[in-house]
């Protein structure tokens, strides 16, 4: 489970590393599921354009089509970890997402925070990114801007990498600052990872990652969970893949797309 020190760091910084949170059995199932998805991606596939070779495979809501992704989202240690970090006694799966940067892929992940991309609102909503490979700065390790989850700022969504579909402008969102040009103004957390290490981060924490310039793949798989306060949001700028015509603005998020995965 989560120690008090880890939880304090999560609340303070907006991101922590959970070393070895996922065991080899789950990693093997996920690795096979990822190959199946690359071979035959579902309807939310969003590959990015890459200059000079490589591939950045993105896809979301993959658990809805694959029994191993589904089992991982529901039965792995993640739902209980989410309850603990979010400080709630009921957790719903929001959705899941794949980010596979092949070796030698010149596609950085731009700085962003996640919640503005999502047609939901919640004060208890977060993600777990599991590494399936050894991850280093050279292969595209994510970095997080310390404390940015407490700024309360919704940054205008943009495509993660070249070739992604543009997002509608939301007048309530603000442009992301040029973090790379002003690194001295911010504090960052980020880690090298071993397979099975997990990054846990708040949906408002600003994060991004460099290209994969290494000779090793960088397979990341993210699952997003929320507490009972999650409601639907119909403002512009969110990802069309996450829209849900069965829900209306302000309505609690319910239905088979968002199963309850933990009740304590």
Ligand X SMILES: O=C(O)CCC(=O)C(=O)O
Please identify which residue in 129, 144, 155, 233 interacts with ligand X, judged by CB under 6 A. Answer: 129
Q: Is 209 in the site for ligand X (CB under 6 A)?
A: yes
Please identify which residue in 222, 232, 238, 247 interacts with ligand X, judged by CB under 6 A. Answer: 222
Cα distance between residue 114 and residue 126, in whole Å: 9
Q: Is 133 in the site for ligand X (CB under 6 A)?
A: no
Nearer to ligand X, 84 or 139 (CB): 139
Please identify which residue in 79, 210, 220, 237 interacts with ligand X, judged by CB under 6 A. Answer: 220
Q: Is 205 in the site for ligand X (CB under 6 A)?
A: no
Nearer to ligand X, 49 or 263 (CB): 49
Q: Is 109 in the site for ligand X (CB under 6 A)?
A: yes
Q: Is 238 in the site for ligand X (CB under 6 A)?
A: no
Q: Is 212 in the site for ligand X (CB under 6 A)?
A: no
Please identify which residue in 84, 105, 127, 238 interacts with ligand X, judged by CB under 6 A. Answer: 127
Q: Is 92 in the site for ligand X (CB under 6 A)?
A: no
Cα distance between residue 261 and residue 264, in whole Å: 10
Q: What minimum distance in Å lies between the beta carbon of 30 and ligand X?
A: 14
Q: Is 99 in the site for ligand X (CB under 6 A)?
A: yes
Q: Which residues bind ligand X (CB under 6 A)?
A: 97, 99, 109, 114, 127, 129, 142, 207, 209, 220, 222
């Amino acid at each position: 489970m989560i120690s008090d020190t880890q939880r304090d760091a999560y609340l303070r910084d907006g991101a922590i590393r959970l070393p070895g949170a996922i065991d080899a059995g789950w990693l093997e199932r996920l690795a096979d599921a990822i190959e199946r998805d690359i071979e035959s991606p579902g309807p939310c596939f969003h590959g990015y354009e890459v200059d000079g070779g490589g591939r950045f495979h993105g896809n979301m809501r993959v658990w809805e089509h694959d029994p191993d992704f589904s089992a991982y989202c529901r039965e792995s240690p993640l739902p209980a970890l989410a309850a603990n970090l979010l400080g709630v006694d009921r957790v719903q799966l929001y959705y899941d997402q794949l980010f596979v940067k092949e070796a030698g892929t010149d596609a950085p992940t731009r700085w962003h925070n996640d919640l503005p991309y999502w047609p939901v609102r919640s004060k208890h909503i977060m993600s777990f990114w599991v590494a399936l490979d050894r991850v280093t700065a050279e292969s595209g390790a994510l970095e997080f801007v310390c404390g940015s989850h407490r700024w309360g700022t919704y940054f205008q969504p943009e495509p993660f990498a070249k070739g992604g579909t543009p997002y509608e402008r939301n007048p309530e969102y603000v442009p992301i600052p040029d973090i790379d040009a002003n690194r001295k103004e911010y504090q960052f957390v980020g880690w090298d990872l071993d397979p099975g290490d997990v990054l846990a981060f708040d949906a408002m924490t600003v994060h991004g990652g460099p290209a994969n310039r290494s000779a090793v793949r960088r397979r990341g798989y993210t699952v997003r969970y929320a507490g009972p306060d999650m409601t639907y949001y119909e403002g512009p700028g969110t990802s069309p893949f996450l829209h849900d015509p069965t829900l209306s603005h302000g309505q609690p998020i319910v239905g088979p797309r968002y199963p309850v995965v933990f009740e304590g």
